[in-house]
Structure 1
Amino acid sequence: MEFDVRTLDPTDPSTDPELLRGYLAAVNRGFHENRSGPEGERHWLADVRGNGTRLHGAWLPEGVYGAGVVPVATVVSWLGSLNTGSQLLDLHMVSDVTVSPANRRQGLARTLIERDLAEAAAAGRPMAALTVSEAPIYRRFGFGPSSFFSKVSVDAGPRFAFDYFEPTGRFVHVEPADLGDVPATIFDAWHAQRRGSVSRTAFFDAFVHGEWDWKGQKPEMGLRAVVHLDEHDEPHGYVLYRHGGWKQDHTVTVESLVSLSPEGELALWHFLTGIDLTDTVKATVPVDHILPWALQDRRCVKRSGPFDHIWLRILDVVASLEARPWYADGEVVLGVTDHQGHAEGRWAVRVEAGRATVVRSDARPEVSLDVATLGAAYLGAVDVPTLVHAGQIRGDADALATWAAMSDGGPEPYSLTSF
């Protein structure tokens, strides 16, 4: 069967509204979410239009049984940014990859993803990113897991006590609807300073202000907001949380916690564990989270993970490698394999004073790897020796040592953004 493969522009007034509703229905079906009503459709349209999203899809051909406005496969993408550790890099963000269960294993996901990546490369976007539900699928398209997170469950009882830390500043409970631009301002400052951070989507504004609960398909009524003010009485961080209920479940679940300093983050944890009728606080945190190290009893923190989060796919080797930080001087000829061709080639990488110059080379590769492994190593979440021992990076011993010295170092990457 020849599927009807095309791209919808939700910002174009001529785009059929019924096709847009059908597209959202396919995404909800793909992720086993409830159907959206008019209000859900409004928030979704605001998000995709605010992001400048392109909606790639495959529809059954007209005239066959089941044909209509609902596509059988979807892939969406838009332009964002990634903090590489030294700058913000344009990032091609990919999401909502779905295939109808009735049309699996017909090459639809491959068709849409490869088409989308080719368009991104042609537009000069150096890097693509996504988060994955099933890990084995996306390595085939050149993506590698590049940042990770942990989940924690923190005992908020008498055992919770800091060793030396004393919180400063003050806290203010604010209705989410009244937060104004505080979350966006704080996140933008955090995004500019945290390696591995990915920019927020347009829906973030509706989320932090409690306008819409996507899973519940209704306005968010249980979300609470607290702003932390520094010694100058300026907003320094915030937390959004839900409480399980004083009769049912004395658990606080953190939905978003952002602070501009480690001390501010600990201050927010001090606040959360001090909420009345709270036994446990649950949150998603960086792999290198500071909280256990600040406590008298680190066993207050039960941790699971790490779990893979942001997967990166390099489209332009020169632009991507020259945009990240480096940690030792040296030169290596890198051989990259890429079945889609975007990053394929031999590349001379020369590092001096923390910056790289990358050019194509005709020389024999001294270090070889595939594009998915290059993406996995890009932010430093995994070091070169580990990938060498795993068989993912190969080469001459001296060149591998030089590549490791050049590449490995810097802070653990972390992203607050899922998409």
Structure 2
Amino acid sequence: MQRWLHTRAARKFLANRIALVGLGIVSTYLLVALATGVFGIITPDETFERVGPKQIRGFFRPQSPEKRLADAEYILNRMDGIFRRSNPSAALQEFRLGQLYIRQVPIEELQAEVNQGWEIYDQLAVNDELEATPEVLQQLGNLERVVNGLFEPLTGSAVWKRRLELLLGTDAQGRSIAIRGLYSIEIAIRIGSVVAFLSVLIGAVLGTAAGFYGGWIDHLVTWLFTTFSSIPSLVLLVLLAYLFTGTTFEGTLVPMYIAFSATYWIGPCRVIRGETLKLRELEYVQAATALGFSRPYIMLRHILPNASHLMLINFSLLFIAAIKGEVILTYLGLGIKNGTSWGIMIGQSRPEVVNGFFWQIGTATFLMFGLVLAFNILSDALQDAFDPKHVG
């Protein structure tokens, strides 16, 4: 590590402050993905749990009187529905809104509080439009105190977890936008990492073999990437979606891995093939050949290491392309169908945008914009630092 820090490329990269900011942002995303995917800080089930009434505004911004009244009505209606069940005691123990649980008190006491809430609600609901007068606000405050009193008080870590759940509001189904957005980081990074790794690996192996061996191998690889480049990834993804229909992989990330990797390897293959054509004519490669080293050994020992900067640059570029591709294809209904991702969030926000609610689409777009922009800055800095053509 110390040796690497004293290289020209490392000094040039560390001197780029904008690149270091991009590296810090990307590292933050990676930590969130690690905490979600490995340590289970956010589970898949939590992205589908209802944490409150629908379409709560983010950043704890004050709601309109009508919205506050509708939110209280939702809680009261849910409680009435529980009371009408055959076993209300068991239903009360199971009912939760994120970190909120119903108080463990006799059902009669809860029913009395709900009836008190309905009395205040009826006094407010007589008007078609609520004006923010002192009297109305006072009644709304009393109603909200009654509704909030139905739940156990939050203590310890549950307090900040509840604040996280409502930080960016709720969607049309009352799910936490913040939880869904943060969990989608892990999905995006998983797609970007797997697709970029597979694409660079396939492209590096085929490109090096084509450039170093030449002959029929070069003609075959050239024909392959020429043929595959004529197939749009969208068409290939549709085909794979039908192929996986009825299997355990239907609606998962596997068809996207295969579809993107089957087309994204072309770029690295072309670049590394051209670099190999240049490297194989250099003196140290000719010397290794004259000494009798095998061709696979020369490829692995002398060609690929000297093309590693191109592999690193292509990895960063394909990482971004895979993330954007997933969002676009999922929005069109051709990508992820089971689970949570930025593409799903953007697709589900269409009716919300019509109603003037932009928190879900804004969260997904901002998180994707931050990761893509930071990675673009980082990839440009890496290319500038490690590509020999940019030495200066």
Higher strand fraction: Structure 1 or Structure 2? Answer: 1
More contact order relative to length (CA 8 Å, sep ≥ 6)? 2
Structures share a fold, TM > 0.5?
no
TM-score by length of 2: 0.24
TM-score by length of 1: 0.23
Higher helix fraction: Structure 1 or Structure 2? Answer: 2
